[in-house]
Amino acid sequence: QSVLTQPPSVSGAPGQRVTISCTGSSSNIGAGYGVHWYQQLPGTAPKLLIYDDSNRPSGVPDRFSGSKSGSSASLAITGLQAEDEADYYCQSYDRSLSWVFGGGTKLTVL
C-alpha cells in the first residue's frame, strides 16, 4: 500500500491527451511539499520528468505538464506518442516518512 495513490493504468490513442492523478494527505502533498513525477521506460532507471509540481528539467518536452491542488496532483501528457508508453510515478516528501512514492501508473498507447 503506497502512501501516494495513483491509478494502476491509463491508456490513450496517439495524439490524445491523458492525465495521471496522484492523491496524498495532509502530511505530504497537503503539507505543501512539492510533487515530482518520474518516467520509467521498460528495463531502465526512472527519469525525473516534472519537479516541484509543474517544472520540467531541461530536455523534457513541453507535452508533459504537472499541476497540484490541495493534497492531489496530476501529470498531463498531450500529443501522446508511442514512446511515451512507460510507468509513471509521483513522489513527494512526507513529514514522518521522508520520501514517499505513488504505486505507479502504466501508460499504454493504443
Partner 1 sequence: EVQLVESGGGLVQPGGSLRLSCAASGFTFSSYWMSWIRQAPGKGLEWVANIKQDGSDKNFLDSVKGRFTISRDNAKNSLYLQMNSLRVEDTAVYYCARDTPNKKGHGYWGQGTLVTVST
**With respect to partner 1, which residue has the nearer C-beta, 38 or 84?**
38
Site for partner 1 contains 38 (CB under 8 A) = yes
Q: Which of 11, 61, 99, 110 binds partner 1 (CB under 8 A)?
A: 99
Of 46, 60, 63, 85, which lies in the binding site for partner 1, with binding defined by CB under 8 A?
46
Rule CB under 8 A: say whether 7 interacts with partner 1: no
3-state secondary structure of 37: strand
For partner 1, the binding residue among 18, 77, 86, 89 (CB under 8 A) is: 89
Burial of 39 (0-12, 13-18, 19+ CB in 10 A): buried
